[in-house]
């Protein structure tokens, strides 16, 4: 077996393992919350295993220095190297500064128009938050503030509600989501994955082959994360001001 075939076999084994995990809970219970939580946990595990440690993976909400807060997000990919996390709930959900976010994903059982639009709304609730940027110190002085990176948005599902995700109805549903509601990338494990790049000469999404949906999704996702580099440096003083920490009383020793 060639190295390429070994790599393909490894990805297919991972894909089949994820499918088995995602499909066992619906077979055992009809409880929507249980199904949703289990699906999110399995997708989070796959992303953690694939992505470098600099990328954190969590469920939670995104906040900004102006007091804005996003909808609850199924899966956040955030900067785990340079940006502090401001809070963590008892069940492990995070409150992540808007500056730290690389990507936002909604997790559902089926990819269809309703859930694409729902994912677009969730993604927009993050993209519309205020993001700060400050100078970055280095040995020779400082770098100018970096513009905030574009936040990726996606939808992760087990199956597709469309017979053909490359068909007119599915493509139109995807392309109708623009601006802050744009869905960039997605994976229907028992369908196909898509990557919406909209660069000349075409504005149409690219699609995976049906048997390598997970491999296509993970590689395209990592490529897009690589392309944007590192998130902008957060202005932590802006958060201190918003939380009135500068004027907080000092506890007696």
Catalytic residues: 74, 106, 108
Beta strand 94-97 with 101-107: parallel, antiparallel or unpaired? Answer: unpaired
CA count, 13 A, side-chain hemisphere, 170: 21
Which of 104, 74, 100, 106 is CA-nearest to residue 87? 100
* 185 and 136 Cβ atoms separated by less than 8 Å: no
Instruction: Write the CB contacts of 145 (distance below 8 Å, at least 6 apart in sequence).
Output: 133, 134, 135, 136, 232, 233
* 108 and 115 Cβ atoms separated by less than 8 Å: yes
Instruction: Give the span between the Cα atoms of 115 and 20, in whole angstroms.
Output: 22
* 176 and 96 Cβ atoms separated by less than 8 Å: no
Instruction: Write the CB contacts of 15 (distance below 8 Å, at least 6 apart in sequence).
Output: 189, 212, 213, 214, 215
């Amino acid at each position: 077996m060639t190295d390429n075939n070994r790599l393909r076999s490894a990805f297919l084994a991972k894909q089949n393992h994820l499918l088995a995990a995602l499909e066992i809970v619906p077979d055992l219970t009809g409880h929507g919350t249980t199904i949703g939580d289990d699906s999110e946990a399995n997708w989070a595990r796959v992303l953690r295993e694939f992505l470098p440690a600099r990328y954190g993976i969590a469920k939670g909400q995104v906040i900004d220095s102006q007091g804005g807060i996003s909808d609850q997000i199924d899966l956040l990919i955030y900067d785990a190297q340079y940006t502090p996390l401001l809070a963590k709930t008892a069940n492990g959900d995070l409150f992540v500064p808007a500056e730290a976010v690389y990507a936002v994903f909604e997790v559902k059982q089926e990819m269809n128009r309703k859930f694409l639009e729902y994912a677009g709304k969730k993604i927009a609730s993050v993209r519309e938050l205020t993001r700060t940027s400050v100078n970055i110190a280095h040995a020779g002085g400082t770098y100018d503030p970096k513009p905030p990176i574009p936040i990726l948005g996606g939808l992760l599902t087990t199956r597709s509600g469309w017979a053909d995700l490359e068909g007119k109805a599915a493509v139109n549903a995807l392309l109708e989501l623009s601006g802050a509601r744009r869905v960039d990338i997605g994976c229907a494990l028992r369908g196909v994955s898509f990557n919406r790049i909209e660069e000349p000469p075409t504005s149409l999404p690219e699609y995976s082959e049906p048997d390598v949906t997970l491999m296509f999704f993970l590689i395209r996702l990592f490529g897009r994360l690589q392309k944007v580099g590192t998130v902008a440096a957060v202005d932590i003083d802006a958060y201190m001001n918003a939380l009135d920490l500068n004027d907080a009383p000092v506890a007696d020793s």
